[in-house]
């Protein structure tokens, strides 16, 4: 049975999904994930009334939860089948992690800020997510202990593609990462091949910087 809080946001969630469709998101699995995951549980209480706007929102510690269209676009580009092992760099609020948990077999996620990781963990527990492994650390180094991964998503901007992440892909696996300066970037898709890697620039984006050994210095 839906709780009063869940019913309160039901109409707004449906309107967001319709807006994502109008903006070109066609992958029905991605849209269903947005319908399944309560975004209001992944934002601070002070901005919960805006949880289903197609807009980024502050989550504290100088970080933001990305615009829903950006999350949807990331996930649609990956074209996950439900069988993949996925690594996410930048847990943030945990909302994208939760979406991934509906689209992949297993999700590994790394967050630099311990307080954000703790808040995301509480949201995972509240939504009953059981196929996510989480750690606090330098996301630019990946999580080599559980590599290789079929897909890696980087939710922060890097000056170049972090080499450890490419090396943690399966052959045929793909990495999505914003590349550029601290203010403007281009979303780049990297595919690992037997011969090396293939890169494709996709579209202009704006993300907070990836702080770490293979990212920006704090």
Report domain extents, the chain.
4-205
Q: CATH number of 4-205: 2.10.260.10, 3.40.50.300, 3.40.50.150, 3.40.50.12780?
A: 3.40.50.150
Q: Residue 6: helix, strand or coil by DSSP?
A: helix
* DSSP sequence for 87-130: EEE--TTSHHHHHHHHHSSEEEEEES-HHHHHHHHHHHHHTT--
Residue 19 burial by Cβ neighbours in a 10 Å radius (0-12, 13-18, 19+): middle
Question: Does the active-site annotation cover 201?
Answer: no
d(CA 134, CA 143): 10
The residue ranking higher by pLDDT, 7 or 91, is 91
* Averaged pLDDT of the chain: 94
What is the mean predicted confidence (pLDDT) over 41-69? 94
pTM: 0.93
- 107-163 pLDDT per residue, tens: 999 999 999 999 999 999 999 999 999 999 999 999 999 999 999 999 999 999 999
pLDDT at 109: 98
3 pLDDT tier (thresholds 50, 70, 90) = very low
Q: Residue 208: helix, strand or coil by DSSP?
A: coil
pLDDT at 123: 96
Residue 64 has pLDDT above 50, yes or no: yes
Catalytic residue among 66, 93, 101, 158: 66
Residue 2 has pLDDT above 50, yes or no: no
What is the mean predicted confidence (pLDDT) over 12-22? 96
The strand order across the sheet containing 85-89 reads 132-136, 106-111, 85-89, 149-154, 169-180, 185-193, 196-205
Who's near 195: CB < 8 A, 6+ residues apart?
A: none
d(CA 86, CA 71): 15
pLDDT at 183: 87
């Amino acid at each position: 049975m839906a709780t009063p809080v869940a019913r309160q946001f039901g109409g707004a969630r449906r309107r967001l999904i319709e807006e994502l469709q109008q903006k070109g998101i066609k992958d029905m699995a991605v849209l269903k994930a947005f319908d399944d995951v309560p975004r209001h549980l992944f934002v601070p209480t002070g901005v919960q009334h805006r949880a289903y706007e197609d807009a980024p929102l502050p989550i504290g510690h100088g970080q933001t939860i990305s615009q829903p269209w950006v999350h949807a676009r990331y996930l649609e580009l990956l074209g996950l089948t439900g069988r993949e092992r996925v690594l996410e760099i930048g847990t943030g609020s945990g909302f994208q992690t939760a979406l991934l948990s509906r689209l992949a077999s297993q999700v590994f996620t790394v967050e630099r800020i311990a307080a954000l990781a703790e808040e995301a963990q509480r949201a995972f527990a509240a939504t009953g997510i059981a196929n996510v492994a989480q750690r606090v650390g330098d996301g630019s180094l990946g999580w080599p202990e559980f590599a290789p991964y079929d897909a890696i998503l980087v939710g922060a901007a890097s000056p170049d593609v972090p080499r450890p992440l490419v090396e943690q892909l399966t052959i045929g696996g793909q990495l999505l990462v914003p590349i550029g300066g601290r203010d403007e970037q281009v979303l780049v898709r990297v595919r690992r091949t037997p011969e090396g890697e293939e890169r494709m620039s996709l579209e202009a984006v704006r993300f907070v910087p990836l702080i770490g050994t293979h990212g920006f210095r704090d």
